[in-house]
Amino acid sequence: MIAEAILLTIITASTPLVLAALGELVTERSGVLNLGVEGMMVVGAVSAFIGSQMSGSPYIGIVCGVAAGALYSQLFAFLTLTLVSNQVATGLALSILGLGISSMMGENFVGQPGLRLPNIAIPGLSQIPVVGKLLFNQDLIFYLSIALVIGVNWFLFKTRAGLKLRAIGDNHGSAHALGIGVIRTRYLAVMFGGACSGLAGAQLSLIYTPQWVENMTAGRGWIALALVVFASWRPWRLLAGGYLFGAVSILQLHVQALGINIPSQLMSALPYVATIVVLIVISHNRRTTLINTPASLGKPFVPDR
């Protein structure tokens, strides 16, 4: 069925956005603004592809992608949390660096057919008409994305550790005075964000398009950053927003398939136009934005000062 095929495509396109944005949400909740999501995603994508090709297992590829994203994020953490460099400039630099590193790493793998991660059918539930195939006959990374949204929501709002992380994001000085390890917590939050971005990259090179091409993230990291603001730093809103943006990105393909006479360049730009429009709309409600934004976001912290 056409409708079912469209919904399946939307789910596949939305999953990397949800994962990357979820990792950035946790990072920003700790008060760190990491604009290097695009770089971490593309490094994760090439590492996952290379890992799967060399091992013959897409599951090994997933581990490689997650590890690469987490390790790359620690470069950002070291520069901004230990050396106290500017978070915005460092994130932008690492995005550009990540594109260069991934091109160098994947140079010998361009054009090679990749190993696609197989779907996992949940017995009984996958037989339900329409819904079964959409929700219970998916790949491992889709299930992980849903589990991570549930887990992050529980962690942030139901656990003591989550309360500490949010306290650091709201006022790192007061949190430090209470004996909370601000730098350690932020290192862990940045690592989690990098791991999620690496997993999102792995989804691109192992499921969305099982191959390696340069710059295959195509700006998805920037959309993920906008999603965090769109969701007001709330995991459940982020999940809904991720699928909304995924639907917009898939719309261009189906409009062209229907033969509607709209320039392909305009349709390709549609997800990014939607991102800009959403940010403009959000910016008009400054009171809501200020209430939800972590107060220490992007501000450096040095315990000795």
CA-closest candidate to residue 231, choices 13, 24, 8, 35: 24
pLDDT at 4 over 80: no
pLDDT, tens digit, 9 for 90 and up, residues 147-168: 999 999 999 999 999 999 999 9
pLDDT at 213 over 70: yes
DSSP 114: P
DSSP 126: G
pLDDT band at 278 (very low <50, low <70, confident <90, very high): confident
CA-closest candidate to residue 111, choices 28, 53, 198: 53
Show the domains of the chain with their CATH numbers. 2-292 (1.10.3470)
Q: Nearest-5° angle of CA 236, CA 299, CA 233?
A: 5
The position carrying tokens 């809103």 is 237
pLDDT at 254 over 70: no
Give bridge partners of residue 120 from the DSSP assignment: 138
Tokens encoding 107: 């140079």
* Helix H or strand E segment including 202: helix 182-203
The mean pLDDT value for 291-301 works out to 88
pLDDT, tens digit, 9 for 90 and up, residues 176-207: 999 999 999 999 999 999 999 999 999 999 99
The pLDDT assigned to 299 comes to 92
The pLDDT assigned to 112 comes to 87
The pLDDT mean for the chain works out to 89
The mean pLDDT value for 238-248 works out to 88
48 close to 72: Cβ distance less than 8 angstroms: no
Q: What is the pTM of this model?
A: 0.92
Give DSSP secondary structure letters for 220-273.
HHHHHHHHHHHTTT-HHHHHHHHHHHHHHHHHHHHHHHTT----HHHHHHHHHH
Range among 72-81, 132-141, 247-256 with highest mean pLDDT value? 72-81
Of 222 and 257, the one with more pLDDT? 222
The mean pLDDT value for 56-85 works out to 96
pLDDT, tens digit, 9 for 90 and up, residues 25-67: 999 999 999 999 999 999 999 999 999 999 999 999 999 999 9
Tokens encoding 76: 């950002």
